[in-house]
Amino acid sequence: MKTPVLAINFKVYNTSFGQKAVDIAKAGEKAAKEYGIEVIVIPPATELRRIASEVSIPVFAQHADPYDFGAYTGWLPIAALKEMNIKGVLVNHSEHRLRLDEIVAIVEAAKKHGLETLVCADTPIAAAAVAAIKPTALAVEPPELIGTGIAVSKAKPEIITNTVQKVREVNKDVIILTGAGISTAEDVEAAIRLGTAGVLVASAIMKAQNPEKVINDMAMAAAKAYRK
Ligand SMILES: O=C(CO)COP(=O)(O)O
């Protein structure tokens, strides 16, 4: 994973499926090229194969299970992601919470299959616990700000600075991202100034009138703030 990062969690909005999802992913690809940053798109499981075949930027799954191919009805094996050219997996999102042993199993299985991991944590302490598992990246997202349009980087900057401090005590390499309520280019800039390498964002893009413009503005802000 390169830095800075604009990771777009599509969640399961009505814009997260079909052609709209492809258009948003293509806007991400365009911004990644234009500003030289890492844009990661994270569509629902049903859209993974199509989007991975239409864009060259990394596509991550919103969740996957630590299984190989086999008799696992209703689960999404990590082995299948690899076959679809998916580059990584989001783990333990606050809307899809897991126990620590389950997080460990997914991160280990992803490593075995050569996939990256972006693990979510709701507090600085949880982020430090996650950092000890050595994922590729982690995102600190206070659940009470998710989907509110109130950016954690503005409303609760101490959550970000505490996360960076606690995580670096246990892991010097993991990429740290900021998420929850990130709405504007300014919010992205603040997240980077507070010591993280980018953002994990959903509603500001998925619910926008003009998602392409929001992606462009956030990507430009990330590139600019990260260079300084
Ligand atoms: O949960 C999030 C990203 O994974 C954050 O969601 P919002 O950007 O909608 O606040």
Domain spans, the chain: 5-227
**φ, ψ for residue 6 (rounded to 5)?**
-115, 105
Task: State how far the Cα of 29 lies from the Cα of 95, in Å rounded to an integer.
Answer: 26
pLDDT of residue 228: 72
Measured from the CA of 181, which atom of ligand 1 is nearest?
Answer: 10
Give the distance (Å) from ligand 1 centre to CA of residue 71: 33
Give the distance (Å) from ligand 1 centre to CA of residue 180: 5
pLDDT of residue 99: 96
Ligand 1, residues 200, 206, 207: which to mutate, most atoms within 8 A of Cβ? 200
184 phi-psi bin (left φ>0, alpha ψ -120 to 50, beta other): beta
Active site residues: 93, 141
Task: State how far the Cα of 197 lies from the Cα of 80, in Å rounded to an integer.
Answer: 29
Handedness of CA 160, 184, 155, 25 (dihedral sign): negative
Residues with CB under 6 A from ligand 1: 9, 93, 141, 146-147, 179-182, 200-204
Give the distance (Å) from ligand 1 centre to CA of residue 70: 33
**φ, ψ for residue 166 (rounded to 5)?**
-70, -40
As annotated, the binding site includes 9-11, 146, 181, 202-203
Beta strands in 49-142 (DSSP E): 60-61, 88-91, 116-121, 137-140
pLDDT of residue 227: 82
Quote the ipTM score.
0.99
Does the pTM surpass 0.90? The reply is yes
Structurally, at CATH architecture level, domain 5-227 sits in Alpha-Beta Barrel (3.20)
Give the tokens for residue 113.
């299959």
Task: State how far the Cα of 85 lies from the Cα of 76, in Å rounded to an integer.
Answer: 14
CA 216 to the chain's CA centroid = 17
Are 8 and 31 a contacting pair, CB within 8 Å? no
Place of tokens 């670096």: 168
Across the 228 residues of the chain, what is the mean pLDDT of every consecutive 10-residue run? 98 98 98 98 98 98 96 96 95 97 98 97 97 98 95 95 98 98 97 98 98 98 92
As annotated, the binding site for substrate includes 9-11, 146, 181, 202-203
**Of 101, 98, 102, 163, the residue nearest 137 (C-alpha):** 163
Task: State how far the Cα of 168 lies from the Cα of 154, in Å rounded to an integer.
Answer: 22
pLDDT of residue 75: 96
